[in-house]
Structures are given as C-alpha cells and as structure tokens.
Structure 1
Amino acid sequence: MTLDALKSRRRRDYKFHLEYRTRWSDNDMYHHLNNSIYYFLFDSVVNAYLIQHCSLHPPTSSQIGLVVHSHCDYFAPIEFPAIVDLALRVNKLGKSSVSYEIGVFERGQEAARAVGEFIHVFVDRDSRKPGTNGMPEKLKIGLNKIIADKAKL
C-alpha cells in the first residue's frame, strides 16, 4: 500500500464506524494525541466490531485473536477536545488471520488524520495454535461484511 493511497482514504472507504471522544489524558506534552492512544483506539474499534457483529465473547471464546502485527501512518495531529471517528475495514481475510485497516478521522473532516493496520491470528485459547478449520464460521461471516472493495485496496 502506498502512502499516497493511504492519505487519500475517506470515510466512505470503510464499512464500520465508531465514535470516540478524546480525553485530556490522551494528549502528550506536544498537545496532541499520544501515539500510544492510536493503538488503544485500533484495539477498541476492532474488538467492538468483533463483539457486536461477529459473536465474539472474549472471556469465554474457545479461540482468541492474537495481534501479530500493527503499524500506523500519521498524517495530521488530533488534540483534546475532539470527537474522533474510527473507521474499520478488512483488507485481507485468511483461514485463521485477518488484516484490518483503521482510518482515524476528526469529526467534520473528510481526510484521514491517521491510517493503521492491525493483524489478528485466531488461535485456540489453550494451545495458542490456529485451529484445523481456521476461525469460527460466525467470525468469518461477520468479517466478510466489512471486506474492502478490491478496487479500493
């Protein structure tokens, strides 16, 4: 994925959205959201989607998603107070893994302030190994609903 392609992301490129109201403690000494907050937001939007739309119940699920890769490209700062719209899509869905893309937008702005990637591998809770059949069917069905259009990758 080129940096120019990521910079051109707009809200309409994503199929799931979640609102976040920044907190005073999200700012760092430079008066913008600390880099670690973006990863907190990525984790929140992904897990909100999994719980709400994929029948995932983390405390009791036989499979869990382990984060094996994450990164973020930052384009413009966000500072408190702000309302942030987190936008989620799936760029690649494998047998036991999924690559998510998260767009971070400030309310009222069409250009992404940041775009991140988050990769989960779903494994057996006890053995920490992928299941023979991959991830559960309900999970696949839910993730398929937010797969990005091939033309927009």
Structure 2
Amino acid sequence: MALDTAKSRRLEDYGFRLDHRTRWIDNDMYDHMNNSVYYFLFDSVVNAYLIKSCGLHPPTSDLIGLVVHSHCDYFAPVGFPAVIELGLRVVKLGKSSVTYEIGVFEKDQEEVKAVGEFVHVFVDRHTRRPRADGMGTQLKKGLQVLATPIKISKL
C-alpha cells in the first residue's frame, strides 16, 4: 500500500473497532509508545474480532492462525496517557489466509497515527498445515464482513 493511501485513512474506513488505554509501561525512553506495543495491539484487535465475530476459541480450537507477515507504517507518535482506537478491516481473503489492515488513531483525533498489516494463515493445530477446507465456513463468513471496500467520499 502506498504511504499516501495509508496516511489518508480515517476511522470510518474500518468495520471493527477496539479501544485501548495506553499504560505508562507502553512508553519508551523517547516518551512515546514503543513500536513493539503496536504489534501487541494488532494481535489484540485481530484476535478480539476472531473470538467475538468468527467463533474462534484459540485455547480449544483445532484451527489456529499463524502470523506469517506483519509490518507497520508510523506517521505520528502516541504516548501515555491516551486512549487509542484501533480499526480493523480485511484487505485480502483467501482459502486459508487473510490479510488485515489495522489503523491506529488517538481518541478524538482524525489523523491516523499508524497503519499496520497482519497476515494470518489458518492451519490445523497439530499438523501446522492448511486444512483441505481452508479456514472453514464460519470463520470465512465472519471475515467477509470486514472485507467490504472502503467508501470513497466525493468532493
């Protein structure tokens, strides 16, 4: 994704949202949220959606999602104390894989602070190989809800 496209994201571009209150420990020595915390938040918003809307129960499910790729583009810092709004959308949905986009926003601010990408491949817990049915019907239906195109506003 082009940086200009990522920088133009707004919270309404995302179909699922999750709030997170920053903690003092999230800040690094430069007085902003450490980059590792962003990845923690990406994992949290993705898994919250999978559990809440896709019927996935990670501790007991025979189907698990392995992260095979992730990255983040940072545009502006966030630090303690702040409330972050995480937006989640699906940009690509395959038979056993899904590519998510996560937008990081500070509450009551329009500008996106960071945009991340997170790729899951769903596999059998025991063999660590994709199943013949891919991710399965229930999971795929739940993810398709977030795979809607971004609304383009007219000038």
TM-score by length of 2: 0.96
2:11 counterpart residue number: 11
2:76 counterpart residue number: 76
| Aligned structure 1 segments of 4 or more residues deviating by more than 4 angstroms | none
Are positions 1:59 and 2:59 aligned together? Answer: yes
Secondary structure in 1 matching 2:112 = coil
Amino acid at match of 1:43: D
| Unmatched tracts of structure 1, length 5 or more | none
**Residues 2-151 of structure 1 correspond to what in structure 2 (within 5 A)?**
2-149=2-149
Amino acid at match of 2:36: S
Question: Does the 8 Å contact 2:13/2:150 carry over to 1?
Answer: no
How far apart, in 1, do the equivalents of 2:40 and 2:30 lie? 19
Question: Does the 8 Å contact 2:89/2:102 carry over to 1?
Answer: yes
Displacement, 1:148? 3.6
How far apart, in 2, do the equivalents of 1:133 and 1:110 lie? 40
Question: Does the 8 Å contact 1:14/1:148 carry over to 2?
Answer: no
Q: CA RMSD in A?
A: 1.0
TM-score by length of 1: 0.97
How far apart, in 2, do the equivalents of 1:85 and 1:131 lie? 34
Displacement, 1:136? 1.6
How far apart, in 2, do the equivalents of 1:151 and 1:98 lie? 21
Identical aligned pairs, as a percentage? 66
Question: Does the 8 Å contact 1:27/1:79 carry over to 2?
Answer: yes
How far apart, in 2, do the equivalents of 1:148 and 1:7 lie? 19
Displacement, 1:151? 6.8
Task: Give a deviation string over 1:80-121, Cα, whole Å, max 9, x none.
Answer: 000000000000000000000000000011111000000000
How far apart, in 1, do the equivalents of 2:103 and 2:44 lie? 13
| Unmatched tracts of structure 2, length 5 or more | none
Task: Give a deviation string over 1:2-50, Cα, whole Å, max 9, x none.
Answer: 1000000001110000000000000000000000000000000000000
